[in-house]
Amino acid sequence: NKVRVIHNGVAPEFAPGPRRAQEQFRAAHGLPTRYLLYLGTLEPRKNLEMLVRAFGKWRTLAPEAAAGVKLVLAGGKGWYYDTIFTAVNSLGLTGEVLFPGFVPPAELPDWYRGAEAFVYPSMFEGFGLPVLEAMACGTPVICSQAASLREVAGTAALTLPAADEGAWVNAMHLLCDQPVMAAELRLRGLEQAAKFSWPQSAQKTIQVYNEMALFV
């Protein structure tokens, strides 16, 4: 009873954009028409080696559905990041998995908007702001069942066990092969993201301050 949970919000610039602007952004950054996006630090707890293996298996099992779809792992290098590059090379996925590096904050909404889906297989997270940002941009989300991510995503994303490669293979296939499902997740994501705002977070924080001031 001494703990009060106040969720993070999502900034207003994270919102859907026109299709033409997405096409121009992809062209300017050398991105393919279809890509699955991860965005965050490249480090072990993000579970990216599993994601790379699942992506490789999906390409093997469903080559027609996976044709032309790249995996983009965007973000700065953390610790043990070299194991991710090793996995990509050993699986023969060089050229299929792209590493654009650190993404400037001003460009984040465009990276989300241009993606076929946002994938976030993290083993654990404090909150999972990228999941919220992606949903606010109208991008379907596949994420792990880490407690904080489930709390953020609700029923608006495909949530999977972090270590279940088969489940991730199936989820990538479903989103890329079934446009009706992708469209449904876009709508759910927008509705879910609308529940989180920084003004609301600030208001709840002020409320706690006011309540505590009564005991001073």
How far apart, in whole angstroms, are the C-alpha atoms of residue 174 and residue 119?
Answer: 13
Question: Angle at the Cα of 7 (from 107 to 45), degrees rounded to 5?
Answer: 65
Q: What pLDDT does residue 214 have?
A: 86
d(CA 40, CA 62): 27
Distance of CA 160 to the CA centre of its chain: 13
Average pLDDT rounded to a whole number, residues 1-21: 93
Quickly state the pLDDT bin for 215 (edges 50, 70, 90). confident
Give 146's contacts (C-beta < 8 A, 6+ positions apart): 122, 123, 124, 125, 128, 162
pLDDT score for 170 = 97
Residues 113-168: pLDDT tens digits? 999 999 999 999 999 999 999 999 999 999 999 999 999 999 999 999 999 999 99
What's the pTM?
0.95
Q: Is the pLDDT of residue 204 over 80?
A: yes
Please give the radius of gyration of the chain, using alpha carbons only, rounded to the nearest integer: 18
Per-residue confidence (pLDDT) for residue 51, from 0 to 100: 98
Give the Cα separation of 20 and 44 in Å (integer).
Answer: 36
Q: Give the residue-averaged pLDDT of 161-189.
A: 97
> For all residues of the chain together, what is the average pLDDT?
96
| Local confidence band at 203 (pLDDT 50, 70, 90 cut-offs) | very high
Each residue's pLDDT tens digit, 46-88: 999 999 999 999 999 999 999 999 999 999 999 889 999 999 9
For 23-50, the pLDDT digits (tens) are: 999 999 999 999 999 999 999 999 999 9
Segment 171-192 shows an average pLDDT of 97
Helix (H, G, I), strand (E, B) or coil at 214: coil
